[in-house]
Amino acid sequence: MAHQNSPRDPLFVSRVSLFLTFILLLWPLLWTTQFSLYSLFDPANLKVIGYFLAGFLPPATGTEFLLELFKATIETIAIATVGMVLALLIAMPLAYRVSRVCRVHHGLQLLPRGLLTVLRAIPELVWALAFVRILGLGPSAGVLALGLTYGAMLGKVYAEILESVDQAPANALLTAGSSRAFAMLFGLLPTASKELTSYTIYRWECALRASVVMGFVGAGGLGQLMDQAMKMLNGGEACSILIVFLGLVLFADRLSAWARHAMNSALTPEPLIRLKNQLSGLVVFMLIVYFSYQMLHIDFVSLVSLEAVHSLSQFALGFFPADVSTPWLIQIADGMLQTLAVSILATLGAVIVGLLLALSKPRVLVNAVFNLLRSVPELVWATITVLAVGMGPFAGTLALALHTTGVLGRLFAQAIENAPMQPAQALRNAGTSRALAFAYATFPLVAPQLVAYSLYRWEMNIRMAAILGFVGAGGLGQLLYVAMSLMNYQQACTVIMAMLLLSVLVDQASARLRGFMHS
């Protein structure tokens, strides 16, 4: 009798406690982001957004506009390519200095580590805004912004990859008396080359999207053209540009797959064939970089001239001392809370919706939804959601959630498809439903990977949440945009420092959570 009265689920109390804890944590996030279903379904807002979206059809097809669109598309690809080359030039020496392979005194590593942290924590859009103020409108600002931010990102990951591979060959070379640079070049790079190349290609895809976003502050390319169309409420042109956005995402996916296949072919055991493939790949890469550089007409020599350095230094000195007045710090604290809440709630919503869609069918339709969501930049989504629900952090949350759903959903679907199917199939053969088979067989296998993807995306979302305010979506971005527009650079300095602090804290929290999951 006692056995019959016992609960069926021995973890019932724990599950209920976890659910209640989740609700208690979710409530302040909803309050901070001004979450409101009424504003989302308000008839007046629906009428405005419906009128705006109706203006997207038909897409603009004028000859003059299409020529301008083609030029902007090529310029976007060129900005991403040249920006990545500059990022590589920054990343490689920094990765060498901060990795354990270098084995220098810990104190000597503080400077390059700190430099990586600062460059990575400040969003590329903020760098682009600063360079536009110094250099004027055009692709030069976008290239420099990408080079700095992505150089720091690549440097951090490159160092982690070099430290994760087998160290025995490098240690053997060091023991034989070779230099540390020689040991890394011939002891570690051959083993890590595939992973390094794969991550670099992935970052080029990200740079392609980032170059679009930076155009919203005048850094050239499709983003600048899109910003003009949105401000003029020219839905037909905006629709044509969005179609090109989607095409670029698909192009990047195909090119990435081709590059990875070519990379695998280049690693063939036959030395002569391997050398031929590697040289062919290097020639193709150099030609792409050359034509991209010629397309942008960037004079890097003038960028490092005494006049340019003086202009940059004068601009930078205008940011100090930072404004630490009490009223401004109170606004900063409120902006930090909004930005953090937006990043958490948007990532959480994207995880839930992305996982549900990743399990849905038909796959062709679901993949099309994922491609559409992630091909539209966050700032474009924010422009639309601001019209739908009004200005404020709720619009930023919706925009970031929409884009992140496309990114995470695609990654989740790939992880689930690559998981071993035998455990789930065994439960299905035993009469278990498809949902329970996934929950108890497939999900435990892919959960660590899904969590890792989500946490890494949260790190990226905190940076994007910090700049969505550029189009009225609240948070630190709105404070920065107002301060920069009014040329109050001392207040802008305080906002940038808050962005840096918030980014570092989120990175640390994400790393600790990943470590906790692995343990």
Q: Is the pLDDT of residue 369 over 50?
A: yes
Q: Is the pLDDT of residue 491 over 90?
A: yes
Q: What's CA 223's distance to the chain center, in Å?
A: 16
Mean pLDDT of the 218-230 span: 83
Rounded to 5 degrees, what angle do the CA atoms 216, 352, 208 make?
A: 30
Q: Which amino acid is at 17?
A: S
Rounded to 5 degrees, what angle do the CA atoms 152, 156, 157 make?
A: 120
Q: Is the pLDDT of residue 1 over 50?
A: no
Stretch(es) of the chain classified as CATH 1.10.3720.10: 12-41+319-519, 59-317
Q: Is the pLDDT of residue 116 over 90?
A: no
Fold of 59-317: MetI-like fold (1.10.3720)
Half-sphere exposure of 518 (CA within 13 A, CB side): 7
Least trusted range by pLDDT, from 36-45, 249-258, 318-327, 464-473: 249-258
Residue 39 or 333, more confident: 333
Tell which phi-psi region holds residue 8, choosing left (phi > 0), alpha (psi between -120 and 50) or beta: alpha
Give the pTM: 0.79
CA distances from 156 to 80, 104, 498 (A): 19, 17, 21
Those residues whose C-beta lies under 8 Å from the C-beta of residue 471, and which sit 6 or more positions away, are: 216, 379, 382, 383, 386
Closest to 477 measured CA to CA, from 414, 392, 376, 353:
392
Say what angle helices 475-485 and 489-518 make with each other, to 10 degrees.
160
Mean pLDDT of the 411-425 span: 83
Q: Is the pLDDT of residue 488 over 80?
A: yes
Give the CA-trace dihedral at 268, 271, 277, 282, to 10 degrees.
Answer: 120
Q: What's CA 391's distance to the chain center, in Å?
A: 23
Residue 251 CB neighbours (<10 A)? 15
Mean pLDDT of the 82-103 span: 82
Residue whose entry in the numeric block shows the structure tokens 């930005």: 339
Residue pLDDT, tens place only, 299-344: 676 666 777 777 778 888 888 899 999 999 999 999 999 999 999 9
- CATH class of residue range 12-41+319-519: mainly alpha
If pLDDT is split at 50, 70 and 90, which confidence band does 3 have? Answer: very low
Kindly report the average pLDDT of the chain as a whole number: 81
Residue 4 or 65, more confident: 65
Q: Is the pLDDT of residue 503 over 50?
A: yes
The DSSP letter of residue 60 is P
What is the pLDDT, as a whole number, of residue 205? 79
Taking the C-alpha atoms of residue 131 and residue 360, their distance in angstroms, rounded to an integer, is 44
Count, residues in the chain: 519
What is the pLDDT, as a whole number, of residue 490? 92
Residue 91 or 516, more confident: 91
